[in-house]
């Protein structure tokens, strides 16, 4: 992508459905035995298509268009997942819980995904083992089998989003009461809980640290709406900040953006918040350096760390960012420096010294959110920026070219690598 920077973005964008909510809800369809799950507001993204292909491989029939997806699940499912689909996306591990609960078996090559540190799935496996599954690792694949899971009390060492989702789905189809302690509290977990409730499971406590699930073998067809994507919305707001523009994101639940709103207030540029929109107005303004730490929800999201770091590169004064969710999520720093960012990494902490201007350069996106942050850097920089490695960005941002252009960004695709691996 070639970005001709220095133009303030102005206008409003409609928030897409949340990728990270749609993926687990899609996986939960596997719990149905001869039923249909209908999803509304599904974003048209590469990761969504990868999950759809994975579900098709397992036996589901899927129709998708205009934000609506129907997943028809047959009586019999396959339980072996193909390496080519699973390696490309870490969220494919979300089929593990449903498959083990539904088929009593699953084979899953250890998944891939963004290059942001080591991302094991040991919590997922421990939880399933505690529910009675036998787990073996053979030639790089997880083999799980059981004659029937049992309800259990589960505890997560860290409130992992994916592990909470896998446990929740397995427990929904397992008769008896399961309890997940130290569960993740992300809004995406509550979206999944709503889907499971409408299928007939009893789920209580989602959004809090302890989730109780009374499972049933008789889950039924259901429909569910996907929540708005808080990371996409926040990315556009930060694009508005960085270009000293005026950007509104609509169709959002502002509560999901609370951590960002607090941090922008602290930086001296408080956003405007209404019932279903958030806006920033930064024409001619400057903002202060701040301190922040990424944490599980409701803390500041790690998926927004590269984008806020981009904005802090242009703050007045010094900022300190501590990444506490992932190791080595600072691959973008080297690229930021090429554009004039003054950043010092010390372990999982970075110190960012604000500069007056960034300059265009040729940079490479190493993962999804790093890619988004480099686009923000390019929009704010003087001169032209070329961002390579955009295939990561298409995994998470629907119609990004169209949305950015509608805000007045001068961007162009030199080569469309949307279909490349």
Report the nearest approach of ligand UD1 to the CB of residue 188 (Å): 6
What number of chain residues touch ligand UD1 (CB under 6 A)? Answer: 20
Helical axes 19-28 vs 187-199, angle rounded to 10°: 30
Report the nearest approach of ligand UD1 to the CB of residue 162 (Å): 3
Which one of residues 64, 155, 262, 326 is an interface residue with ligand UD1 (CB under 6 A)?
Answer: 326
119 contributes a contact to ligand UD1 by CB under 6 A:
yes
347 contributes a contact to ligand UD1 by CB under 6 A:
no
**Considering only 139-147, 158-166, 340-348, 409-417, which stretch makes contact with ligand UD1 by CB under 6 A?**
158-166
Q: Is 114 a catalytic residue?
A: yes
Sites for ligand UD1 among residues 372-411 (CB under 6 A): none
54 contributes a contact to ligand UD1 by CB under 6 A:
no
Tell me which residue has its CB nearest to ligand UD1.
Answer: 162
**Considering only 6-14, 117-125, 192-200, 252-260, which stretch makes contact with ligand UD1 by CB under 6 A?**
117-125
Residue (163 or 290) nearer to ligand UD1, CB: 163
Residues in contact with ligand UD1, shown as a per-residue x/- string from 230 to 269 under the rule CB under 6 A: ----------------------------------------
162 contributes a contact to ligand UD1 by CB under 6 A:
yes
Residue (163 or 269) nearer to ligand UD1, CB: 163
Using DSSP bridges, classify how beta strands 362-364 and 384-388 pair: parallel, antiparallel or unpaired.
parallel
Residue (5 or 396) nearer to ligand UD1, CB: 396
* CA 125 from centroid of its chain's CA atoms: 21
20 contributes a contact to ligand UD1 by CB under 6 A:
yes
Sites for ligand UD1 among residues 121-140 (CB under 6 A): 121-124
Which among 339, 368, 389, 279 is positioned nearest to 10, based on CA atoms? 279
CA gap 163, 73 in Å, rounded: 23
Report the nearest approach of ligand UD1 to the CB of residue 5 (Å): 27
161 contributes a contact to ligand UD1 by CB under 6 A:
yes
Sites for ligand UD1 among residues 181-240 (CB under 6 A): 188
Active-site annotation holder among 103, 114, 282, 313: 114
Residue (262 or 326) nearer to ligand UD1, CB: 326
Residue (162 or 245) nearer to ligand UD1, CB: 162
* CA 65 from centroid of its chain's CA atoms: 21
Which one of residues 325, 363, 374, 393 is an interface residue with ligand UD1 (CB under 6 A)?
Answer: 325
Which one of residues 120, 140, 284, 347 is an interface residue with ligand UD1 (CB under 6 A)?
Answer: 120
* Contact assessment for residue 2 and residue 360, using Cβ atoms and an 8 Å cutoff: no
CA gap 136, 115 in Å, rounded: 25
Residues in contact with ligand UD1, shown as a per-residue x/- string from 66 to 105 under the rule CB under 6 A: ------------------------xx--------------
CA gap 343, 360 in Å, rounded: 17
Residue (252 or 314) nearer to ligand UD1, CB: 252
**Considering only 96-104, 160-168, 268-276, 411-419, which stretch makes contact with ligand UD1 by CB under 6 A?**
160-168
Residue (121 or 376) nearer to ligand UD1, CB: 121
Residue (117 or 383) nearer to ligand UD1, CB: 117
Which one of residues 23, 85, 151, 411 is an interface residue with ligand UD1 (CB under 6 A)?
Answer: 23
CA gap 37, 26 in Å, rounded: 8
Q: What angle do CA 52, 54, 58 make, to 5 degrees?
A: 115
* Binding site residues, ligand UD1, CB under 6 A: 20, 23, 90-91, 119-124, 158, 160-163, 188, 302-303, 325-326
Active site residues: 114
């Amino acid at each position: 992508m070639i970005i001709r920077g220095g133009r303030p973005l102005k206008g409003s964008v409609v928030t897409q459905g949340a990728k990270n909510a749609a993926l687990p809800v899609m996986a939960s369809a596997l719990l149905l035995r001869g039923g249909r799950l209908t999803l509304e507001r599904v974003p048209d993204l590469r990761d969504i298509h990868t999950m759809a292909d994975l579900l098709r491989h397992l036996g589901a029939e899927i129709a998708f268009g205009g934000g609506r997806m129907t997943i028809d699940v047959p009586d019999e499912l396959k339980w072996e997942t193909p390496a080519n689909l699973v390696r490309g996306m870490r969220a494919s591990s979300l089929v593990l819980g449903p498959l083990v609960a539904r088929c009593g078996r699953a084979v899953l090559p250890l998944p891939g995904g963004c290059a942001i540190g080591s991302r094991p799935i040991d919590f997922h496996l421990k939880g399933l083992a505690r529910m009675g599954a036998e787990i073996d690792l053979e030639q790089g694949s997880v083999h799980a089998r059981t004659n029937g899971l049992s309800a259990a009390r589960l505890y997560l060492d860290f409130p992992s989003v994916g592990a909470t989702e896998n446990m929740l789905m397995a427990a929904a189809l397992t008769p008896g009461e399961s309890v997940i302690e130290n569960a993740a509290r992300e809004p995406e977990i509550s979206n999944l809980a709503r889907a499971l409730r409408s299928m007939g499971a009893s789920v209580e406590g989602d959004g809090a640290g302890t989730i109780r699930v009374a499972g049933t073998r008789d889950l039924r067809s259901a429909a569910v709406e996907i929540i708005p994507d808080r990371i996409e919305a926040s990315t556009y707001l930060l694009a508005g900040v960085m270009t000293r523009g005026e950007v509104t994101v609509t169709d959002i639940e502002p509560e999901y953006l609370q951590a960002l709103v607090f941090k922008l207030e602290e930086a001296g540029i408080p956003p405007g918040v209404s019932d279903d929109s958030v806006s920033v107005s930064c024409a001619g303004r400057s903002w202060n350096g701040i301190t922040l730490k990424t944490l599980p929800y409701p803390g500041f999201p790690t998926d927004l760390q590269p984008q806020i770091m981009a904005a802090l590169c242009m703050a007045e004064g010094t900022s300190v960012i501590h990444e506490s969710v992932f190791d080595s999520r600072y691959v973008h720093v080297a690229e930021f420096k090429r554009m004039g960012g003054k950043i010092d990494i010390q372990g999982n902490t970075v110190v960012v010294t604000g500069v007056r201007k960034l300059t265009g350069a040729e940079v490479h996106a190493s993962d999804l959110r790093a890619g988004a942050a480099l686009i923000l850097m390019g929009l704010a920089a003087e001169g032209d920026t070329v961002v390579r490695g955009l295939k990561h960005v298409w995994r998470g941002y629907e119609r990004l070219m169209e949305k950015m252009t509608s805000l007045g960004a001068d961007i162009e695709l030199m080569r469309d690598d949307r279909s490349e691996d």
